[in-house]
Amino acid sequence: MRKRIRPSAQLLRIGVALAAFAAAVVVALADDGNPEHRVEILLIVATAFIAAAFFYQFLRSNLELQRAVSEAEERFAELYDRAGISIWREDWSAVGAAIQDLRDAGVADIPGWFAARPEETRALHATVRINSVNWKSVELMGASSEAELVGSLADILPGSAPAFHRWIAALSAGDSSFVGESAIQRLNGEVFDCLVTAALPREGEPLTDVIICIVEITKYKRDRAELMHVRDEIARTQRIATVGALTASIAHEVNSPLAAIASNAAACVRWLERSEPDLEEVKTAVAAVIEDTHRAKAVIDRTRSYLQKAPRITEQRDIRGLIRAALQIVENEAHAHEVNLGLALNEELGSINCEPVQLQQALINLMLNGIQAMSKSRVRQLTVRATRKPPHILISIEDTGPGIAPQDLGRIFEPFYSTKDGGMGMGLSICRTIVESHCGTLTAQSSHDAGTRFLISLPDTSG
């Protein structure tokens, strides 16, 4: 960085020299030969010099401060222009004000308030203004100049609407930063995936200049999607193999006592149908039936016990992180189905002792279930809420789909029961098993044309 001597510093030095010269003149002119006056004059001059020295020091510090600020501004401008990532400066003050108004009005669940009001949310989204962007943003968006990207966020990036709910959640929760994935449309219509990060101002501070960084992650996402697909396939194959092996084992062990029961029962009928019923034989056969029934039950108990004893790897995990990670995974699917994702997480959720992969699998299954259920709905909103109500942590996943018919609602958690064409009917059953294995409950509430709400209740283990 170049160092420049500013004209004001030169002026200051000249000013100090002139002051010294003036003092010398004053001494010369005021000298009347009286030794007492001379001492007073010298004291005055000395005091003036000390004051001048302090003043000089003050002005110097001030100048150095100005220079530091100026250099920082230059550095930021250089970074802003030459950074290899896209940087956007946006005005979110209207959103901040709207959130503050709701807070003042006593609305506790602000994200939920917006999730239930799509029109108001759209209008608020339209108030966010892009003030400036760096050249990397111009390049990323395929624009010819910065001017093409300055204006209403909703107009320039209409694809930012689904992520807007997450911004509301982060701002209303007082988060210090925002990190999320989004899909953005270039000016030529091409859509790319990106990672969006922003440092959010502290509560009460203005949102007039929010600095947002955007990194394109299309290739990373594609690779990750392929990896997930492969992982899903492996998991599916493993599940099928496990279920197959388990079924074969159970079949083998249960079919034998069943065969014995069937034979003894048939024998009973025949012993009784004789012209002279042989009650001793009947008694023996019935006793055998009872014994074989116990044997069949023991097989089931043994299998259940084996499954429950399967080694579990549990760890204490932050619930907000778990939910956010699950939501990120389904974002692509939500985008493909044009579903808005809403998130309302209570600040005090804490952590939970769980098998994170399993619990996340249940959350993802429920979210995907909701997204897919809304394929024919006009309003497509999936909202995930979580709150802590000791001794429970409640997580709800709500969609605005067609709802579940009353005759199906009681059976949706049964294995192999599906209302979807080609559905295997294991998804919700597996979800409930996972939640129950965490000592929790999974229930569903639904009414015709009013969507479905899945509610997970887990024990609060955060202490």
* Cis peptide bond prior to 391, omega within 30° of 0: yes
Shortest distance (Å) from residue 426 CB to another protein = 24
User: What distances in angstroms separate CA 231 from CA 228, 328, 362, one per listed residue?
Assistant: 5, 17, 16
What is the H or E stretch that residue 196 is in? strand 191-199
Nearer residue to another protein within complex by CB, 197 or 284: 284
Q: Can you spell out the DSSP letters for 17-63?
A: HHHHHHHHHHHHHH--S-HHHHHHHHHHHHHHHHHHHHHHHHHHHHH
Residue 193 tokens read as 């995936």
Nearer residue to another protein within complex by CB, 301 or 348: 301
Shortest distance (Å) from residue 301 CB to another protein = 17
Pairing of strands 340-345, 381-389: parallel
> x/- binding map, residues 206-245, to another protein, per CB under 8 A?
----------------------------------------
Nearer residue to another protein within complex by CB, 249 or 314: 249
3-state DSSP percent of the chain in helix, strand and coil, to 5: 55, 20, 25
State yes or no: residue 8 binds another protein (CB under 8 A): no
State yes or no: residue 248 binds another protein (CB under 8 A): yes
- Give dist(CA 102, CA 417) in Å, integer: 43
Nearer residue to another protein within complex by CB, 256 or 387: 256
Nearer residue to another protein within complex by CB, 301 or 449: 301
Residue in 38, 224, 295, 392 binding another protein, rule: CB under 8 A: 295
Shortest distance (Å) from residue 287 CB to another protein = 10
Shortest distance (Å) from residue 251 CB to another protein = 7
Residue 270 tokens read as 């025949």
- Give dist(CA 186, CA 157) in Å, integer: 8
Shortest distance (Å) from residue 292 CB to another protein = 5
Nearer residue to another protein within complex by CB, 107 or 265: 265
Shortest distance (Å) from residue 277 CB to another protein = 11
- Give dist(CA 432, CA 413) in Å, integer: 7
State yes or no: residue 130 binds another protein (CB under 8 A): no
Nearer residue to another protein within complex by CB, 303 or 419: 303
Neighbours of 303 (CB within 10 A): 15
- Give dist(CA 50, CA 16) in Å, integer: 12
Phi then psi for 396, rounded to 5 degrees? Answer: -120, 145
Shortest distance (Å) from residue 248 CB to another protein = 7
Nearer residue to another protein within complex by CB, 115 or 268: 268
State yes or no: residue 298 binds another protein (CB under 8 A): no
Sheet holding 191-199, edge to edge: 151-152, 129-133, 86-91, 210-216, 191-199, 177-185
CA angle 403, 407, 409 (to 5 degrees): 50
Nearer residue to another protein within complex by CB, 148 or 253: 253
State yes or no: residue 379 binds another protein (CB under 8 A): no
State yes or no: residue 292 binds another protein (CB under 8 A): yes
Shortest distance (Å) from residue 307 CB to another protein = 21
* Start-to-end CA span in the chain (Å): 54
Shortest distance (Å) from residue 416 CB to another protein = 21
- Give dist(CA 78, CA 55) in Å, integer: 34
State yes or no: residue 284 binds another protein (CB under 8 A): yes
Sequence-separated (6 or more) residues with CB below 8 Å from residue 48? 19, 23
What is the H or E stretch that residue 275 is in? none
* Residues 61/134, Cβ–Cβ less than 8 Å: no
> x/- binding map, residues 252-271, to another protein, per CB under 8 A?
xx-xxxxxxxxxx-xx--xx
Segment lying near another protein (by CB under 8 A), choices 131-139, 291-299, 328-336, 339-347: 291-299
Nearer residue to another protein within complex by CB, 146 or 278: 278
Shortest distance (Å) from residue 302 CB to another protein = 16
Residue in 281, 318, 333, 355 binding another protein, rule: CB under 8 A: 281
* Contact set with another protein (CB under 8 A): 248, 251-253, 255-264, 266-267, 270-271, 274, 278, 281, 284-285, 288, 291-292, 295
